Amino acid sequence: MSSSPVAGVALRTVTANNIQMRYAEAGSGPLVLFCHGWPESWYSWRHQLTDVSAAGFRCVAPDMRGYGGTDAPEPIDQYTLLQLVGDMAELTRVLGETKAVIVGHDWGAPVAWHAALWRPDLFPAVCAMSVPYAPPGHVDILTALDKLGIHDFYLQYFQKPGVPEAELQADVGGALRRLYFTASGDYTEKGKGFARLTTGTLLGNTVDPPALPAWLRPEDLEYYTQEFSRTGFRGGLNWYRNLRRNWELSAPWRGQPIRQPSLFIAGSRDGVLKFPAAQGHLDAYPKNLPGLRGSHILEGAGHWVQQERPDQVNRLLIGFLKGL
């Protein structure tokens, strides 16, 4: 067990699904599993670990495959949704539990959605943030972008092994500061962010804030910076390099709804909600999420919703968990 920068949260390491996995843990009670996104770590859930555990739950937030204190396998094809969901299924088992409510943000949201879709016996309820649920479809997103004549989307830039890594690793702290600010609700200008990279680089489409936003303290940024300075960005970027492979592997579940209780939370200023298909996915929730208990768009919040609006998110999440 290693020391954690958050009081009351323990860091532990186990072997699950053939990789060494580090996770943060707080509390006891029914298991709630938190899956972070890019470019983040277990630390993204610091506010949830303390508050949700205090409400009577065993909260576990792993460093996901490729991040932090968890192994980052070399082959790109080791980062598919099947492996990522497998990691969460096996972690649940190794923790001695037979079920868990799964929560995910950003890339962790597709992991949580697919965990609920593929293993309803193991994950009887799901909460996702930022990325709406859409059943596996008939066209993958990279092909869809090509057909639209779009070749400068950030997802396409991330496909080139070594290129985004080199850009981000030149100044890790500066890169994270720009990414966290530009995708947050604190940045209100138009034209920058995760989308079309008009300059040909990722950071050329971001803004360096004059000061850190209130939700991101210097010590928070320092923790993320230390983690990515140690691990680099390759592991997390490899998730993006499996978009087409994920689409192929999920063919048996095309068009399938998630039936168990579900919750969705996002910020009104989250760039993901501006993606062309996002509103259609939200509109289709009655059909695709028949167990939906709430879909909440938090006014003024950006992409990092559980860090930008921890009190609101924790209230919604605890209400959902206690209502199960």
- pLDDT at residue 178, rounded to an integer: 97
- pLDDT at residue 315, rounded to an integer: 98
Say how far residue 154 (Cα) sits from the centre of its chain.
Answer: 16
To the nearest whole percent, how much of the chain has pLDDT over 70?
Answer: 99
For residue 106, the number of C-alpha atoms closer than 13 Å in the C-beta half-sphere is: 25
Residue 123's contacts (CB-CB under 8 Å, 6 or more residues apart) are 88, 99, 100, 101, 102, 112, 115, 116, 260
Inside any domain, residue 143 = yes
Inside any domain, residue 194 = yes
Give first-to-last CA distance, the chain, whole Å: 32
Domain around 123: 10-322
Domain total in the chain: 1
Instruction: Please tell me the pTM assigned to this model.
Output: 0.97
What distance in Å separates the CA atoms of residue 54 and residue 247, rounded to the nearest whole number?
39
Inside any domain, residue 1 = no
What distance in Å separates the CA atoms of residue 164 and residue 234, rounded to the nearest whole number?
9
309, 298 contact by CB (below 8 A): yes
- pLDDT at residue 189, rounded to an integer: 87
Q: Domain of 82: which CATH number?
A: 3.40.50.1820
79, amino acid identity: Y
Inside any domain, residue 3 = no
Inside any domain, residue 5 = no
Q: What residues in the chain have per-residue pLDDT under 70?
A: 1-2
- pLDDT at residue 100, rounded to an integer: 98
Whether 186 sits among the annotated catalytic residues: the reply is no
Inside any domain, residue 306 = yes
Nearest CA-CA partner of 249 in 140, 105, 160: 140
**SS3 label, residue 131:** coil
Whether 77 sits among the annotated catalytic residues: the reply is no
222, amino acid identity: E
19: enclosing H helix or E strand: strand 19-26
Dump pLDDT digits (tens) for 193-224: 778 898 899 999 999 999 999 999 999 999 99
Catalytic residue among 106, 186, 220, 270: 106
Inside any domain, residue 86 = yes
Nearest CA-CA partner of 288 in 136, 140, 139: 136
Inside any domain, residue 119 = yes
